[in-house]
Structures are given as C-alpha cells and as structure tokens.
Copies of this chain bind each other. A is one copy, B any other.
Amino acid sequence: MSEDAFLATYDPSAYGRLALTVDVVLLGLRDGRPAALLLKRDEPPQAGLWALPGGFVGVAETLEAAADRVLREKAGLSGLHLEQLYTFGAIDRDPRMRIVSVAYLALLPETAFAAAARNGAGLRPAVIEVPWAGEAGGPVAVRAPEDGQERGPLPLAFDHADILALAILRLRGKLDYSSVGFALLPDRFTLRQLQDVHEAILGTALNKPAFRRRMLDRGWLEPTGARAAGTSFRPPELYRFRQPR
C-alpha cells in the first residue's frame, strides 16, 4: 500500500471498526471421507451453529502466529503445517461488526484427528460432503459421522461453508503435484493407505497399478523393509515419506 492513500483517506473513526481474524480448517479423514473439526457455538449470534476454530489477530502477532495460537488454545495442537487458503472480506459475513478473516488449512493424520476430537476442547469431527466433482467448486455440507442421512446436515455459521469448500478445492488441486497427501498419513504407511487418502480427497476411485507407479516414480517414497501387521493375508510393505531431494 502506498502512504499517500493513508494520509489522504485515513480516518480512525471510519477505519477503526474493522477487525481481523483467522479461521483454521483442521482437516483429516474419518472413515475414508474428508472431515473437519468444528465447534458448536453456544452464544448468539449464530448460537447452535457449527464454526471453524478461529480468533482475533493480535496487533503484534503475525497471521501464522495467530493461527498457531488458535490451534493451541482450541485444539491443543501445535507445530502443525499451516497453509494460507484465502481471505474472506464480505461486508456482512459476521453480523456483529466488520470482520475480515484469513483462512488457514492444517492437515491431521487420522490418529491425531481422532485424538483432537477427544481432548475435551469441544471440537467435533464433521464429515464434509462434496457434491461436485473435480475442481468444479461449489458449496459443501457437513454431517456428524455417526448420523445417517436422516439427521440432515449440520448448520454452519457465517461463511464457513465457503471456507470448507475452498479447503477441499485447494487440496484437490495440489494433491497430485505436491506432497500434501502425506500430511494426512502416519509416519509409516502402505501404498493402499496413500491411495485411500487420494481417493477420499478427490472423491473418485483410482486405478491401483497406475497410482502405485505414479507415486513410486515421484521419488518421495522410501521403503522401510517392514510390512504392515494384523492382516490375515499377504501384508503390504510400509513406506516412509522422504522430502524430495
């Protein structure tokens, strides 16, 4: 920004009532479907609706630090990889005042996702239902995993449905040319698990031999030599993700 604009137009009373927040999409998988951790609001406005964990950005706090703090305070998590998604600035996205929010995405492996849902902070997993294919975009719905279709979707607060939709869109777009997929897996995993992650995010079935070949050719997978236990048939090899180069 240029300071002429500042000097010419800055009026504290006009600009002082704009607040900045961060909202974090805590995304993981639940029963092979993408899911996010949500909080049920218990005060108006939008009491009873479900919202992403979020919080105000302090004046001496970077956006990433604010998102990290939200993660720590509301989910007991720290050190997660955060990716900025988009900044939402509709005038009336929050009925109380003008609030602009920077949305972040954090990915959780299945066990950490389940653990965060159990740690008492009130976060509840909600399966994300994506009614569009590919990267078409559009609204998404969320549903409590134990509820069937008859319970209807969970109502989302503010514009959080848009934020969730964007998280899915971004993830789909980056999935096969980046290594984001591994962030949803434990340290050691099988190729089938990796394919399950991709299929859950993309919402489509993938061809097994082709997927395996593609992933191995990427050079990101390091065989551990160990095999998964607990199967009553041939156990698959366990791989580890190794940062490219």
Chain A residues packing against B (C-beta within 8 Å):
1-7, 9-10, 14-23, 39, 41, 43, 45, 51-64, 70, 73-74, 84, 86-87, 89-91, 94, 96, 98-102, 157-158
Contact = CB atoms under 8 A, between A and B. Distances in A.
A22 B1 contact: yes
Contacts of A6: 55-56, 96
A15 B41 CA distance: 23
A7 B58 CA distance: 14
Copies in the complex: 2
Q: Decide if the interface of chain A is mainly helix, strand, loop or mixed.
A: mixed
Contacts of A62: 89-91
B59 A2 contact: no
24 contacts: A1-B21, A1-B54, A1-B94, A1-B158, A2-B39, A2-B51, A2-B53, A2-B157, A5-B21, A5-B54, A5-B73, A6-B56, A6-B96, A9-B55, A10-B19, A10-B56, A14-B59, A15-B19, A18-B20, A20-B20, A59-B98, A60-B91, A62-B89, A63-B87
